[in-house]
Amino acid sequence: MAPSKRSAEGSSSNREATFGPSRRVEAAALDSRNGRLPHGTRAAAFLDRDGVLSDQTAFVNRPEDFNLLPGAAAAVARLNRAGIPVVVITNQGGIALGYLTEDTLASIHERMAELLAAEGAHADGVYFCPHLLNATVTRYLRECSCRKPGTGMLEKARDDLGLDLRKSILVGDATTDILAGIRAGCRTILVRTGYAGKDGKAAAEPDRVAADLSEAVSIILDEFIPAATSSGQSKAT
């Protein structure tokens, strides 16, 4: 899970934020538009964090604030067994407002990894956007391509992990998640956990609606990526 390591996500001191294990997401998005980065062929499941994997609480600013939703780890494990890369993409504007640092976020994601691992699951990549136009921490004050509904995090994961966004699926609880998936060319599933699509921030219609991540994974495995569960792999149940 290299993209989620503390050194990969970036430190809050003396350098700009990074997203995943290499270059800035804006640079990766620019290079991909210029045709300089190879695109892969693998379908992935992109998962929003809060409201899909974990409780949609007002603040997740410390590791102890983070808790997985019931059944979330088991759902991720089903994707793992099917050989489908799982990528977490999360807006983290609290960093821009000074509520937490990138190092603290890394510790939160370490706890997420531990909770997933306890049930035999893992994420193949974790990407976050710390930017806001109303940031109080000036180094994060910018208009960026990575904050959903922007597509920068998906494009960065595509280039890092060799993914095909047109074959991939995004699962989210907010309309901004769904719009990001649509803009990136993914199929989309809205879950009724978290915001349940009632955030009112974007006009975006998902391809499917599911009660929770477990039902969304069933849709992915049974309908959206049948090849991933039938070409030399046993279907996860």
Helix (H) / strand (E) containing 37? none
User: What's phi and psi for 129, nearest 5 deg?
Assistant: -120, 125
Say whether 65 is catalytic.
Answer: no
Taking the C-alpha atoms of residue 2 and residue 158, their distance in angstroms, rounded to an integer, is 14
- 207 is a catalytic site residue: no
Main-chain dihedrals φ then ψ at residue 163, nearest 5 degrees = -105, 155
Contacts of 118 (CB under 8 A, 6+ apart): 73
- Rounded Cα distance between 99 and 146, Å, is 20
Q: Which of 50, 124, 160, 173 is catalytic?
A: 50
45 close to 171: Cβ distance less than 8 angstroms: yes
Catalytic residue, chosen from 48, 124, 159, 177, is 48
Catalytic sites, residue numbers: 48, 50
